[in-house]
Amino acid sequence: MSEPVPPDPDRVADALVTPEWLATNLDRVRSDDPSLRLVEVDLNPAFYEAGHVPGAIGFDWREDLQHPRRRDVPSPSQFERLLGEHGIADDSTVVVYGDNANWFAAHLYWLLTYYGHDDVYLLDGGREHWVESDRPLTAEVPSYTERRFTVTGPLEGIRAYADDVSRAIDRRTQLVDVRVPAEFSGTIVVPPGSDERARRGGHIPGAVNVVWSANVRPDGRFADREQLAELYRDHGVTADDDVIVYCRIGERSSLTWFVLSELLGYPSVRNYDGSWIEWGNMIGAPIVADSEDH
C-alpha cells in the first residue's frame, strides 16, 4: 500500500502538495519503491533534459499523452504500458508537475483521474516555481523497475464530447472558455508560437470567459480558495451548475477543471478536451465572434 501524503498546513487542498513537502520527500521519490512517483510533463522535452526535480520521470505531452494515430487521449492499453514501464503501480501515489504553470501536468492529473487512479497530486507552482526557488535539479534520467498499472476507468463523468457541448448550448450547463480574450472574441485563432489551429475563431454560444491565468498568482502557485471561489462566483459559475470547460487543445482547460473540481469541490465539472481545435473545425457548429453569431 502506498503511504498517504500527510496533511500540510500550506496546502490549498488535498489535491496539492507544496514544494516544501516535495523537497523533504526526495529520497522517497528517488527510491525504486513504487509507493511515490514524481512525473514532469512538458510540451517541450528540452526542459526536462536541461534539468528536472531529482527522481522525476519525464513525459512529453505531445508524444506520450495523446493517441498515436488520432487526436484523442491515449488508449487504455497505451496508458497502462506508459505508466507501468516507468515504475508506476496501481497503488502508487503520483505527484505531477510541469511547465506553463502546470498546464500539461494538470492534463495528466485529469487523465489519471479519468482512468480511475485517484491517488494523484499536483505540485503547487509547477516547474517554474521550483526552478525560481533555487531548489535542486538534475539532468540524470532515473530508471525504475517496471510495474503493473491497471486502468479502471474511463470515468466519463469528467469528460465532455462535442455532442455534450451541443446539448449544453440550450440547457442549464455553464460553458467556461479559459482562453485569452483575443481568442474568445475571435480576434486571433491561435496563440503565437502554436501550430495547431482551427479554421474559425470565436467562442461557443453561452460561454463565459475566465482566463486560466486568473487561477494562479504571479509566482505560479494557485490563488487561495477564497479568491478562487470569488473569481468564479463573479462570473456566474457556481457549484450548483453543470460545468463544461474548454480551451484550444484541452490542456489549459485541464487546469481550470482541476481548480473547479479538485480545489473548489464543484460536483459536476467536465473537461471538453476536443476544445476549440474540434469545435472551430466542425461544419455547422455555432460560433460567436465579434458579438455576432456565425
Active site residues: 247
- Beta-bridged to residue 201, according to DSSP, are none
CA 147 – CA 129 distance, rounded (Å):
31
Phi, psi (deg, nearest 5) at residue 123:
-80, 115
- With a CB cutoff of 8 Å and minimum separation 6, the contacts of 185 are 201, 202, 203, 289, 290
Task: Report the amino acid identity of residue 267.
Answer: P
Query: Would you put residue 219 in left (φ > 0), alpha (ψ -120 to 50) or beta?
Result: alpha
CA 173 – CA 193 distance, rounded (Å):
32
Sign of CA dihedral 102, 56, 72, 191: positive
- With a CB cutoff of 8 Å and minimum separation 6, the contacts of 138 are 51, 52, 53, 54
Q: Which value, in Å, is the radius of gyration of the alpha carbons in the chain?
A: 19
What does the block give as the cell for 184? 474568445
CA 248 – CA 275 distance, rounded (Å):
5
